[in-house]
Structures are given as structure tokens and as C-alpha cells.
Amino acid sequence: MSNKAFLLGDRAVYIAFIVIVLGLPLLVDDVFWLNRVARYLVFGMLGIAMALSWGYAGILNLGQGLFFGVGAYMVAMSLKLQSWTSMQQGSDTPVPDFMLWNAQPGAPTDLCCIVPGSWLWIPFQAQWFGIFMAIALPVVLALIIGATIFRLRVSGVYVAIITLALVLLTRLIFIDAQPITNGFNGLTDLGWLTVGGIEFDPLMVGTYYIVAVSVCIVLLLTRWLVSTRAGLILQSTRDDANRARYLGYDVASYQIFFFTVSAAIAGFAGLLFVIVSEFATPTYFDIAFSISMVVWAAVGGRSSLIGAAIGAILINTIEATVSESEMFQQAWRLIIGVLFVLIVLYMPRGLAGLARDLLARLVALGRGKQADSAKASRNPAE
């Protein structure tokens, strides 16, 4: 079989991806451009998370933005408290500017009680707490959601509907808690991530590397995860959950585990996105954003982790290029919508599938030539 060729081709794509992502700053010194690439790499990470849950687990999560958004808000709260404006509100401890605008006259300028619920912000004065929560809270939420729906054996389109409803609910909560979340406007004017005295300006090459290295690590870790026996068993539950049960596997525990890993990756992506973009807004909880992630994975190939990552990066690059022209900006959504339908119907394995088919054809071609030359060299002897 041509399995070996696929393995080699696969490995080559991974190596090329990692080399390009890590080598980019050596070729380009436009920091604005690098910052833009860093954002797309974060979306690539979301593509990986989507491929893991949709492609490998068969769980179509239409509310992945929930975990991304929660991760983003958690770290944004810490960075908000580190911003210059928060330090300048005339109190000993930092207080976000928007809380003052919302405060009742006479309320003390302190996180304890400036507005109802502002005490929730107190631990976020430690940057590490925000970073920790950016992953921990998505994990806890995913465990609760996953345990509920998978123990009840909810599957297929119902999972999509429930996750969709949950991300909308979260959006409502974040907008509604305006005094402590700044509502529609979200958290802007953030400070920079500071590690060991180094401030990570979003336009610094070092900041690009935080994202680039993170994406590579997540890619390799998820790759390892799906190659383990647990990853294989997960794929078996996707194909036939009952068969897996009658082989002795508690299907729900596999679904919960991988759903949670996917959520943790999304939360991590949210964290990174805030570091490079310096804001967190409720648009992360928009349905359109969560559905975009599904489109990225579909285009790149939902059953290929790296395919989904490349799909996300590619679509966002094209979108950014296209949106510079007013006319195309309007048409873009339509184009993406049509593309999505076509791919789901006619190319369910996306770009990754296309690449594999090409490779298979090349291998076959090579074989044919070899056979021909073998024949040619044998013939004279006969």
C-alpha cells in the first residue's frame, strides 16, 4: 500500500509548516504584518481545536466561540488592570476606567465595591491568575457541558444546537453584566503581557514567537493525542458509538475528555489573541464567529489537524486581502457560504483530502514509470 508515502507526505507538511511559521520573522521585518500573521496563527489553532472535536470525535461544536471568548476575557481582565489608565484612578490598587463611569456617586474607588460584582476582579490583579483562568475556566465549563450532554447520549445535530444556544447565552450574560464587563464595548485599552520584567508589545517579534511556538506545540500535542490508543478509540466512537460500547468502552468519558481538550485549546487561543490584539469583545461570542471556525476546518479538511489549521490561515489571509476592496467585502460572506456548501457536499475531506489524492496519483504515476522501466529492462533479456 501507499501508506508509507502518505506518512512521509504528512510529515513533510508538518515540518514545512513549523519551519515556515518559526522562520517567518527572519524573512519579514514588517512588525505590523507579523502581528497580522500572529492573529491568523491563533485562528489556525482554533482550526486544530475544531478538527479535533468535529473531525476526530464527530462532535460538531457550533459554540466553540464560548471557550475562545471566555479565555480571552479572563486574560483581558488581568491586562486591563495592568493598563496605565487603571493605575490612574486615584486609588492604591488599579480600577478599570469603565467601572468609574458606571459607579454610583460616592461609591469607593476600589475593586471591592465600586460597582456590584467588581470584587470578582480582585484576584485578576495577579497576571498569572488571568492566564491560569483563561484555560481553567474553559476546561471546567467544557467538563460540565460535556458531562451533561454526553452522559445523556446527545449526539449529532442536537449537540450543534445545544452548543449554539450556549454560546448565545454566554454572549447575553457578558453584555448584560455591563458594569463589570463593559458590555458591548468589551475590554479595550489593555496593558501588555509582562513576563520576567519583559513587556510583550504586540508589535514585538518576541510576541509573534509566543504565538508561533504555542501553535506548533499545540499542533504536535494534538497530533500525538490522536495517534494514541485513546485517539483511536475516540475515532471508533465517532464511527459507531454502540460498537465501542459493546467492546467495553465508556463512550461518554472519551467524548468528554476530547471535547474538553478542544475547549482548552480554544481558551488558550483566546488568551493569545488578546495578547496580540489588545482587546476582548462580546463579538467573540457571535454565532458568525463560531460558524467561521467550522468553515475553516471544513475547507482545510476536518479530519486533518494541520489541514484545518492551514484552512483557517488561508481563509483569513484571503479575507483580509479581499476586504481592502469595498465591493468584495460585501460578496465575501456569500462566497464563503457557497464555498462551504460545495465543500461539505463534494469535498468532505477539504484541502487535506485534495493533497492526499494528488499524492496518491503521484505515487501511482511513479509506480507506473518504475514498472515501465522494469519491463523495458527485462524485455531485451527475453
Rounded Cα distance, 108 and 114, in Å: 5
- Does 232 sit near another protein (CB under 8 A)? yes
Count other Cβ atoms within 10 Å, centred on residue 140.
Answer: 14
- Does 174 sit near another protein (CB under 8 A)? no
In angstroms, give the least distance from the CB of 250 to another protein.
5
Give the nearer residue to another protein in terms of CB position, either 10 or 286.
10
In angstroms, give the least distance from the CB of 115 to another protein.
43
Rounded Cα distance, 305 and 299, in Å: 12
Rounded Cα distance, 179 and 281, in Å: 14
Q: Which residue has the cell 520576567?
A: 196
In angstroms, give the least distance from the CB of 156 to another protein.
16
Rounded Cα distance, 246 and 279, in Å: 48
In angstroms, give the least distance from the CB of 248 to another protein.
4
- Does 151 sit near another protein (CB under 8 A)? no
Residues 239-268 close enough to bind another protein by CB under 8 A: 239-240, 242-251, 253-254, 257
Going by C-alpha positions, the residue among 27, 12, 4, 16 that lies closest to residue 205 is: 27
Return the residue of 154, 168, 225, 339 that touches another protein, per CB under 8 A. 225
- Span interacting with another protein, options 18-26, 33-41, 225-233, 332-340, rule CB under 8 A: 225-233
Give the nearer residue to another protein in terms of CB position, either 91 or 253.
253
β-strand partners of 187: 280
- The DSSP result for 127-185, as a single string, is HHHHHHHHHHHHHHHHHHHHHHHHHTT--THHHHHHHHHHHHHHHHHHHHTHHHH-GGG
In angstroms, give the least distance from the CB of 245 to another protein.
4
Rounded Cα distance, 230 and 256, in Å: 12
In angstroms, give the least distance from the CB of 257 to another protein.
5
- Does 155 sit near another protein (CB under 8 A)? no
Binding site for another protein (CB under 8 A): 1, 3, 224-225, 227-230, 232-233, 235-236, 238-240, 242-251, 253-254, 257
